[in-house]
Structure formats: C-alpha cells, structure tokens
Structure 1
C-alpha cells in the first residue's frame, strides 16, 4: 500500500513517523509557500534521511500521477480538499481527512463527488478508536436517559483553530439524534470549550438527572492514537468508493449499539443476557 500525507504540524509529524514505521509512506506534501518543500522528511522529523523529499502542491496532478498513492491522509487545512477534491478523484487517490472546520458547502461537495462513484473518503474529525467508542456510548446513554440534561466539555491545545472541536460537535449530534429517536425534544446540546497549553484532547459528557449525574469521558494521552486511527482508516478506504466515517472503519455501527441496549434492557428486567 502507498500512502501520501499532507500536513506536518504537531500531529502530522507523529503520523509521518508512524507511517514510516509501517513502511507505507511514499509521498509527503506541503502547501505552496512552505519552507519544508525540498527537504528530506528525516530533516523535519529530526531523524536520519528517509529518501522522501517533501514536495509542495504545485503541479499536484503531475506528482500524484508519478507516485500513484492509493490513499492521501490529510492533516492540513480545509482549503486543501476544497481546492483539490476533483483533482484527487481524477487521479484515483482516495482520502482520509482528519481536518476539522469544513463548512456545510465543503461537506456537500465532498458528498457529491463520492456519490458520483469517483472517490472514496473517510471523514475523520474524530479519528481515534477511544473517541468513537465514546460516541457510541453517548448515543446509547441518550436513548436510555432521555429525560436528563446533557452538556459537553472539551479541552484542546491553545493553537487549535476551531472551537468547539469537530469531535464535540459530533458527540452533540449523536446525543441529539438518539434523544429525538427516543421522543426527546431538545434543540441543542451546550458545548463548553477550553483552549490551553498542549492538551492533546479531552472530551467529557455530563448527563444530569434530578437526583444523580453520569460522566462519560475520553482523554488522549498520546498523539500516536491519531496516527494509528489514520493508518486504519487508510487501510479501510483503499479501493472503496463513497463516503465513510470512523464508526465504519471500527465497526461501531447502529447494530452493535442496539445490541448493547438490548442487553442492558434484559439485565434491567432480570433476564439472562449471555446468549
């Protein structure tokens, strides 16, 4: 498998290290004005030379046709996919985008291109397995605790541009969907954002009833969790067409959530749930 990467920020560099270790990274791109262009990736990662020269996205189509990556992993900015989506489809390069901050129009365009059968995309603002388990749990709890109040608290590093985070928005959407499906009538889930230091990522859901409160939280200890998720997403999307989320990559779909809810209901009714 051949993977291209764009975005060598704090997380992108760790992703590059991980993909080098997995021996799948063959191409690294940067924006046109970047001073990283022309340097060996090893120099940027403060390690021995890798033989991979970072290239700017000038003449991108020519470079993609030369290297023929199966998948491009995007840890850059929304503008990259906004400007190069059709080009990637033409070059038959599928995409894993861990970028947040896409506009509604951006998302509509991505969906339109994938519906045409020309491209496969994993939209992955919440790329770690743990966060996706949290999302699944949030939906389950919302279905079981429909009369409670829900709030989300998220913390990220001080340089994160979007607030609230894409993950927090995704959690809120999951809660709202489950509440609506269960007869709840809530218009929005409050989200409280904190930006400080080098916090990698913390998300907490508060579920408050009249007499008690449930807290569900996820804390990332290492950015390597993002690298592992990106690699799994790339393996998943290779050769596929259409648009997917990380719940598809990890197999955390609705059927699995419904199975958990059924087991909880059986336990509450005193039935055995082992079968």
Structure 2
C-alpha cells in the first residue's frame, strides 16, 4: 500500500516517521508557500535522507498520477480537502482526514462525494484506537446509568486551535444517542502546557460516580490509528468513521478467538 501524507505539523511529523517505519509512505504534500517545500522528509524529521521530497500542491493532479498513492492521510487544514477533493475522486485515491474543524457544510460535501461510490473516505477526528474504546465503554455506561448526570472533560496542549475538540464533540453525540433526555452534555475543555490528549467521561449519580478516561502518552497513538484507518479504507468506497475501523478490528479479533477455541477443542477431542 502506498500512502501520501499532507500536513507536517506536530502530529503530522510523527505520522510521517511512523509511515516510513512501515515502508508505506510514498509521497508528502505541502502548501505552495511552505518552508518544507522540496526538502527531503528525512531532513525535516532529523533522520537520514529518504528519497521522498516534500512536493507542493501545485499541479497536484499530475503529481498524483505520477506517484499513484492508494490512500491520502490528511493532517492539514479544512481548506486542503475542500479544494482538491474533486481531484482525488477523479483519480480514485481514498482519503483519511483527521482534521477536526470542518464546518457542517464541508462535512456534507465530503459525505456526498464518498457516497457517489468512486472513492472511500474516513473522517476521523478521533483517530486513536484507544479513544474509540473509550467511546464504546461510555456508550454502554450511559445506556445502563439512566438518570445519572453526565459531563465530559478534555485536555490538550495550548497550541490546539479547536475547543472543544472534534473527539469530545463526537463523544457527546454518541452519549446523547443513548439518553432519554435531550439536555446538552457539558464539555469542559482545557488548553494548557504540552498535554497531548486526555478525554474523560463523568457519570454522577446520587450515591456513586463512574469515571471512564483515555490519555495519549505519545503521538504515535495518532500515527498508529491513521495507519489502521489506511489499511481499512484501501480497497473500499463510501463514507466511514473511525467507529467503522474499530468495528472491523473487533470482528477480526473475535474471529481469531473463535478459530483458536475451535483448534483447542479439536486438540482436546483428538487426545480423548
């Protein structure tokens, strides 16, 4: 699988290095005026030269046709995908976008493009595998703990622009679907220091309280999630979210467990 990457911010650089380690990175893109233009990605990451030069988005269609990536991972800004989604659709390049600040009309454009059936798109503001586990656990708790007060706390580094985060909003949306009441779930967002990512759901009742939390210790968690999403979408079409990626991983694990138990039963019967 050949992966193109756009966006070399704090997280994008970690993703680039991770993809290099997987021998999956084939192309890196930047804006026309970026200071990274024409540099070897190795120079930017302070590692050996890789032979992969950062290319600007000028004449993007021609460059994509020459490189032919299977998937593009987007850690840039909303405008990039909005400007070039028609190019990816025309060439047949699937997309994972981890951008968290899309407006509703922009998300609708992405969904409509994916639903045309020419390409597959994963919209993944919640890109880490672990935070999707948090969402599932919180949904179960919200369904069972009817009548409990629910609040969300999230924490990120001070440079993060969106507040609350896309993940926190998605978490609130999923929890709301499991509640009888239509009251808005409060989100408390902290932007301070160098904290990577922390999300916590509080369920408070009259006599007890439940806390479910997830914290990223390394941005490699984002890189691993992006790579998992790329493997998921590589040969699919349509619109997906990280929840779909998680469900497929869960199904694979369940099938592996079933096969292992079947093998153990066969061995037991052969020894009987």
TM-score, normalised to structure 2, is 0.90
What residue number does 2:27 align with? 27
Question: 1:187, CA displacement in angstroms?
Answer: 2.4
TM-score, normalised to structure 1, is 0.89
What residue number does 1:171 align with? 171
Structure-1 separation of matches of 2:147 and 2:250: 22
Q: Structure 1: 5+ residue runs without aligned partners? A: 256-275
User: Deviations along 1:22-72, whole A, 9 cap, x unmatched?
Assistant: 001000001111010010111100111000000111111111111000000
What residue number does 1:145 align with? 145
What residue number does 1:260 align with? none
What residue number does 1:132 align with? 132
What residue number does 2:6 align with? 6
Change in 2 beyond 3 A, CA 1:171/1:252: farther
Structure-1 separation of matches of 2:125 and 2:182: 24
Paired residues of 1:132 and 1:252 also in contact (CA < 8 A) = no
User: Deviations along 1:92-142, whole A, 9 cap, x unmatched?
Assistant: 110011110100001100111111111100111111111000011111111
Question: 1:146, CA displacement in angstroms?
Answer: 1.6
Do structure 1's residue 230 and structure 2's residue 197 form an aligned pair?
no
Question: 1:162, CA displacement in angstroms?
Answer: 0.5
Structure-2 separation of matches of 1:161 and 1:212: 35
Q: How many residues align?
A: 251
Displaced runs of 4 or more, over 3 A: 252-255
Do structure 1's residue 208 and structure 2's residue 204 form an aligned pair?
yes
Paired residues of 1:94 and 1:237 also in contact (CA < 8 A) = yes
Structure-2 separation of matches of 1:17 and 1:125: 20
Change in 2 beyond 3 A, CA 1:124/1:3: same
What residue number does 2:15 align with? 15
User: Deviations along 1:62-91, whole A, 9 cap, x unmatched?
Assistant: 111110000000000111111111111011
Question: 1:186, CA displacement in angstroms?
Answer: 2.7
What is the correspondence of 1:178-189 to structure 2 with a 5 Å cutoff? Answer: 178-179=178-179, 184-189=180-185
User: Deviations along 1:180-228, whole A, 9 cap, x unmatched?
Assistant: xxxx113210001000111110001110111111111100000001101
What residue number does 2:256 align with? none
What residue number does 2:100 align with? 100
Q: Structure 2: 5+ residue runs without aligned partners? A: 252-272
